[in-house]
Amino acid sequence: MTHATLKASTKTCHWGFFDAALPAAVTISSGEEIIIDSISGGPKNLPGDGYHVPSELLDMHAAGAPSVPGHILTGPVAVSGAMPGDVLQVDILDVSLRQDWGFNFLGPLKGTLPNDFPNHHHTIIPLDAERGVATLPWGLELKLAPFFGVMGVAPPPTWGRISTIEPRVHGGNIDNKELVAGTTLFLPIFAEGALFSCGDGHGAQGDGEVCVTAIETALKGRFRLTVLKNRDLSYPQAETPTHYITMGMDPDLDRCAEMALRDMITLVSQRAGISREDAYMLCSLAGDLRITQTVNREKGVHMMMAKNLIDTH
């Protein structure tokens, strides 16, 4: 099968922002697959000699730093026929490494404990794609589970240009480690064409991403982007092969949990054909609230519910 391809370059990457006014880098048909290359990190995050550094990452650095801090994203990808009010189904078909290293940093005024670590700490982490492991400085081999921390459509046009750091209703910096190859993300559409972008490649991450970074690296993703015309969706949701996922993003973790729970109650009630009271009960008995991340100013909580408990068909 042939696929559209969007390689990372200074012409196809935007650094630090989402903007509905940003022209599409490529246009595809609804239901078409596309391969997207990503790059990640600023000049301070480069490794020493002996590692593969994508040339386009160096080109982005040479073009100058972004006006605001944020992620390097590849896109946008316009999907023909997508209109505000529709939903973009993002099938994540494959995710693979593009380089043999990743980086992690932490320091003052960052992360979940911003006052506990007064010194900057930067680590280059070797990645072995063939064995599927990252080797940490003390010798621990950590299993890789690559995913894109940022996947989003254009925000509402009235918002103008916004940072990539905060996840919001358009998706963006969700940092949900469940969204590996074989899963699906659903995003409400706010601009014609949807204008999908992705980046912030992660080799591995724990729920919370507590120090502010995961194993940050460059990835190649293969996606199928499909416009759904009759899907009622007001906030991002996702599916794994075994679970439904609802999400909440807000500076207050309590509010995040409430958002994810309310959407799960609605989903369970509709799919199982039961009352909201019974759905609320099932969420308490079998649903799992998990902290997505606590470091992006807008924090995240996601709720997971096993499909076999509620699907009635």
Q: How far apart are CA 303 and CA 240, in angstroms?
A: 12
Enter the pTM of the model: 0.97
- Closest alpha carbon to 90 in 232, 226, 260, 230: 226
Q: How far apart are CA 128 and CA 134, in angstroms?
A: 6
Asked if the structure places residue 234 within a domain, the reply is no
What is the domain count for the chain?
A: 2
Q: How far apart are CA 231 and CA 303, in angstroms?
A: 20
Q: What is the pLDDT along the chain (313 residues), one digit of tens a residue?
A: 567 999 999 999 999 999 999 999 999 999 999 999 999 999 999 999 999 999 999 999 999 988 888 999 999 999 999 999 999 999 999 999 999 999 999 999 999 999 999 999 999 999 999 999 999 999 999 999 999 999 999 999 999 999 999 999 999 999 999 999 999 999 999 999 999 999 999 999 999 999 999 999 999 999 999 999 989 999 999 999 999 999 999 999 999 999 999 999 999 999 999 999 999 999 999 999 999 999 999 999 999 999 999 997 5
Cis before 76 (ω within 30)? yes
220 in the same domain as 249? no
288 in the same domain as 223? no
173 in the same domain as 49? yes
271 in the same domain as 181? no
Half-sphere exposure of 86 (CA within 13 A, CB side): 22
Half-sphere exposure of 99 (CA within 13 A, CB side): 29
What CATH code is carried by the domain that includes residue 72? 2.60.120.580
217 in the same domain as 298? no
254-285 b/e with 16+ CB inside 10 Å = b?
A: eebbebbbbbbbebbbebbebeeeebbebbee
Residues spanned by the domain of 223: 4-228
Asked if the structure places residue 292 within a domain, the reply is yes
